[in-house]
Amino acid sequence: MLDLAVLGILRRGPRHGYDVKRQLAELGWLRVSFGAVYPALRRLERRGLIEAMHPTSRRKAYRLTAAGAQTLDAMLLDDSDEMEEDRRFAMRLAFLGYVDPERRIGILKRRRTRLVARLAEARLALRRAATSGSDAYTLALVRHNVRTVEADVSWLDELITLARTEPPVSELPLTTVLPDQAPT
Length of the chain: 184
What is the 3-class SS of the chain, one letter each residue? CHHHHHHHHHHCCCEEHHHHHHHHHHCCCCCCCHHHHHHHHHHHHHCCCEEECCCECCECEEEECHHHHHHHHHHHHCCCCCCCHHHHHHHHHHCHHHCCHHHHHHHHHHHHHHHHHHHHHHHHHHHHHHHCCCCHHHHHHHHHHHHHHHHHHHHHHHHHHHHHHCCCCCCCCCCCCCCCCCCC
Touching its own copies, residues 116-135 (CB under 8 A): 121-122, 125, 128-129, 135
The minimum distance between CB 48 and its own copies, in angstroms, equals 27
Contacting its own copies (CB under 8 A), which of 96, 105, 153, 174? 96
The minimum distance between CB 160 and DNA, in angstroms, equals 28
151 binds, among its own copies, DNA, none (CB under 5 to 8 A by kind): its own copies
Contact of 2 with 32, CB cutoff 8 Å: yes
Point out which residues pair with 52 in neighbouring strands: 62
Residue 78 binds its own copies (CB under 8 A):
no
Binding interface with DNA (CB under 7 A): 1-3, 16-19, 31-36, 38-42, 57-61, 82-83
Contacting its own copies (CB under 8 A), which of 52, 75, 90, 105? 90
The minimum distance between CB 36 and DNA, in angstroms, equals 3
The minimum distance between CB 45 and its own copies, in angstroms, equals 26
40 binds, among its own copies, DNA, none (CB under 5 to 8 A by kind): DNA
Residues that bind its own copies (CB under 8 A): 26-28, 90, 93-97, 121-122, 125, 128-129, 135-138, 140-142, 144-145, 147-148, 151, 155, 158-159, 162, 166, 169
